[in-house]
Amino acid sequence: MELGVHGLNTRSVIGPADTAALARRAEQLGYGSWWTADHVVLPTSVEAETVVDPLVHLGFVAAVTSRIELATGVLILPQRNPLVLAKQAASLDVLSGGRLRLGVGAGWQREEMTAVGVPFTQRGRLTDEHIDAMRALWRHEVQPYHGEHVSFADVDALPKPLTDGGPHLVVGGHSAAALRRALTKAHGWYGIGNGPDDLARHLAALRDVRADVDRPAHLGELEVSFMHMGAATLTDDTARRYADLGLDRLVVYPLPIGDAASVTAFLERHADLPR
């Protein structure tokens, strides 16, 4: 079971010195992946949260590290033009030496989507179409794509990702539609919960959906990543339970995020969790 860390493009540790120091320390400690949060805007009715754009942040992290995988956990896909995102993702994949894990999801915040001009009720359909459109553009021999919302032919975009067909794609979400999307379109699934019992419930749901869909052979076995929300409850026994469930990647989240020193202490404290 690999170990990752989530959310360090947010709150009080977003400056260049803190970001560089934390990313380098995570890599030194053996963390395998660095996951970013995503919000373009948030309604003023909720508590303000600073979120650095995930792809800009990961570009910076790529420049100060050499091995840790760079992941979005998850990027709200309907809010982004798929051709622009395909270009950005391919560029980051090339500059990082193929370290990008592009995690995407349909999103949940109605006010945010309305503000950026996305029909909330169509977010699932847009997500599916955007994945297919990006995959068509990522191929070394680009394929035309004609969907309801995205259509192109006789165009190409360079550079291509280092892997034909695009970087490692992860789908997040717990709805039946999200699980189906992960099983039919992605290399991996990204979940969130408070403990192994939540993961066990989601794995059971994945098995139920898996019985009704055909997973493309080229995607291989579905890789499962799970973010543990309760930092205070993440003990050695909890980590062992996650491993016993067959989890591929446990992602820790140092909530509440304090200063860089407290986050560093969190990373050091959890680096030796049983795997």
Q: Flag whether 275 is in a domain.
A: no
The parent domain of residue 92 ranges over: 2-270
Q: Flag whether 16 is in a domain.
A: yes
Mean pLDDT, all residues of the chain: 96
Q: What are phi and psi of 2, to 5 degrees?
A: -80, 160
Q: DSSP class of residue 216?
A: P
pLDDT over threshold 80, residue 48: no
Q: What is the pLDDT of residue 181?
A: 98
Measured CA to CA, the distance from residue 4 to residue 18 in angstroms comes to: 18
- For the ranges 36-50, 118-132, 156-170, 178-192, which has the lowest average pLDDT? 36-50
User: Using one digit for the tens of pLDDT, what is the confidence trace for 221-233?
Assistant: 999 999 999 777 8
User: Using one digit for the tens of pLDDT, what is the confidence trace for 188-228?
Assistant: 999 999 999 999 999 999 999 999 999 999 999 999 999 99
Q: What is the pLDDT of residue 230?
A: 77
Q: What is the pLDDT of residue 45?
A: 84
Helices 196-210 and 176-185, axial angle in degrees (round to 10): 70
Task: Supply the CATH number for residue 95's domain.
Answer: 3.20.20.30
Q: Flag whether 49 is in a domain.
A: yes
Quick one: what percent of the chain has pLDDT higher than 90?
93
Take residue 67 and report the two structure tokens written for it.
């091995």
Q: Is residue 138 within 8 Å of 160, Cβ to Cβ?
A: yes
User: Using one digit for the tens of pLDDT, what is the confidence trace for 57-77?
Assistant: 999 999 999 999 999 999 999
Total domains in the chain come to 1
